[in-house]
Amino acid sequence: MIPTLLFISLLVFAIIELPPGDYFESYVAELRALGEATDMAEIEELRVRYGFDQPLPVRYVQWVSGMLVGDFGYSFEYRLPVNEVVGDRLWLTILVSFVTIVVTWLIAFPIGIYSATHQYSWGDYGLTLVGLIGLAIPNFMMALVMMYFANVWFGTSIGGLMDEEYFNQPMSWEKFKSIMEHLWIPVVIIATAGTAGMIRRLRANLLDELEKQYVTTARAKGLSPFRTLVKYPLRMSLNFFISDIGSILPAIISGAEITAIVLSLQTTGPMLIQALQSQDMYLAGSFLMFLAFLTVIGVLISDIALAYLDPRIRLQGGSTK
């Protein structure tokens, strides 16, 4: 994991540095385009203060060593340390993503199991149709439709995860109620495609397991249908689900960027895109490294869980004669 993260940090730093110039040059060009005066002495002082006059290897070492002690740098776009910029956005992103994942699992697992055990029934066809519709509709289009109906039918203000008066305010009961009132909209939108995809994969994997010899043997021995399903086929068909942990953890933080932009959500996804566009190096780099860290942690968890779940998988290697 350590050499992987070091290699990723090199890639992240190189990609952020690939565009010509830096944040300060982009900032000066933006001010001049607006016809505003620029204090070049102040700009140069900021470049020197944050090491932008140093060679790239020196800046890379300073960036990585700072992250190791919890210093993620300074966000030039927001004029605040990165730790303070992320703040509430990180918790709101985790809330939206966690609720979405739970809703997806609660819907997808029963439907996927029913669809596999009732293959080619009317219920299977109907659920397949719903799943394909969920996969076919883009999230941004679903977001526009949901915004309209939420405002017309329920009177929920369009855009954001809370009413405007609660922005940048400390958490209170009224703010919590406002978040809950708005939360269901992005959850339904994001979960639609995720649920449809998980249903199709669970159905395909479970159908494959149900056709294997050990299931026929269990039925011939008189094992009840429920135990025949749960004891081995369902466990074996969950391998894909466990393997997805490596992508689920970073997805909790990245937070469905396109949907977040359309709905004007105060989550980390739009902030990451804006940081990349403005070349806000420390903010963008910290985000990407955090996502990489969650990915390698998720892969580690999925490897261990797979070895426990599936008796065919073992952690130790070696050849036998």
Average confidence (pLDDT) over 220-239: 82
Position 79 pLDDT exceeds 80: no
3-state secondary structure of 244: coil
Position 158 pLDDT exceeds 70: no
Contacts of 167 (CB under 8 A, 6+ apart): 160, 266
Highest-pLDDT range among 147-156, 247-256, 270-279:
270-279
Q: Which two tokens stand for residue 35?
A: 């016809």
Q: What local confidence, expressed as pLDDT, does residue 321 receive?
A: 46
The 10s digit of each residue's pLDDT in 261-303 is 777 777 777 788 888 777 777 888 888 888 888 888 888 888 8
Average confidence (pLDDT) over 141-166: 74
What would the DSSP string read from start to end of 21-43? S-HHHHHHHHHHHTT----HHHH
- CATH 1.10.3720.10 positions along the chain are 92-309
Question: Closest by alpha carbon to 268, among 65, 90, 46, 146?
Answer: 90
* E strand map for the chain: 74-75, 80-81
Helices (H), 50-155: 56-68, 82-117, 122-136, 139-154
Q: What local confidence, expressed as pLDDT, does residue 7 receive?
A: 93
- Quote the mean pLDDT of the chain: 78
The phi and psi torsions of 200 (rounded to 5 degrees) equal -65, -40
Q: Which two tokens stand for residue 314?
A: 């073992």
3-state secondary structure of 101: helix
CATH 1.10.3720.10 fits 92-309, yes or no: yes
Other Cβ atoms less than 10 A from the Cβ of 198: the count is 22
Other Cβ atoms less than 10 A from the Cβ of 25: the count is 15
The 10s digit of each residue's pLDDT in 98-107 is 888 888 888 8
The phi and psi torsions of 80 (rounded to 5 degrees) equal -145, 160
Average confidence (pLDDT) over 34-51: 72
Average confidence (pLDDT) over 234-247: 76
